[in-house]
Amino acid sequence: MADTILEVRHLMKQFDDLMVLKDINLTVHEGEVIVIVGPSGCGKSTFLRCINALEDIQGGEIRLNGELVSKESKNLAVIRQKIGMVFQSYELFPHLNVLDNITLAPVKVQKRPKEEVREEALALLSRVGLSDKAESFPRQLSGGQKQRVAIVRALCMKPEILLFDEVTAALDPEMVREVLDVILRLADQGKTMLIVTHEMQFARAVADRVIFLEDGVIKEEGKPEQFFDAPQTERAKEFLKTFTFERKHKE
Partner 1 sequence: MPDLGLEVLFKGKNFARLLEGLGVALRISLISVVISIVAGIGVGMLMTWKNPISRAITRCYLEIVRIMPQMVLLFIVFFGTTRVFGWNLSGEISAVIVFSFWGTAEMGDLVRGALISIPQHQYESAYALGLTGIQTYQYVVLPQTVRRLIPLSINLITRMIKTTSLILMIGVVEVLKVAQQIIEANRMSSPNAAFGLYLTVFLLYFLACWPFSLLARYLEKRWR
Per CB under 8 A, contacts with partner 1 among 103-142 are: 104-105, 108-110, 139
- Least distance in Å: CB of 226 to partner 1? 32
Q: Where are the beta strands (DSSP E) in the chain?
A: 4-15, 18-29, 33-37, 59-64, 67-68, 83-86, 161-165, 193-196, 209-214, 217-222
- DSSP conformational letter for 66: T
Distance in Å, CB of 92 to partner 1, minimum: 8
Residue closer to partner 1 (CB basis): 116 or 229:
116
Stretch that binds partner 1, among 117-125, 152-160, 177-185, 211-219 (CB under 8 A): 152-160
Q: CA 151 to CA 31: how far, in whole Å?
A: 17
Among 17, 95, 173, 246, binds partner 1 (CB under 8 A): 95
Tell me, what amino acid is at 102?
I
**Least distance in Å: CB of 14 to partner 1?**
20
Q: Does 227 participate in binding partner 1 (rule CB under 8 A)?
A: no
| Phi, psi (deg, nearest 5) at residue 47 | -60, -45
User: CA 230, 191, 74: angle at the middle one, nearest 5?
Assistant: 110
Specify whether the CB–CB gap between 117 and 155 falls below 8 A.
no
* Min separation Cβ 85 and partner 1, Å: 4
The binding site for partner 1 (CB under 8 A) comprises 52, 54, 77-78, 80-81, 83-85, 87, 89, 91-95, 104-105, 108-110, 139, 150, 153-154, 157
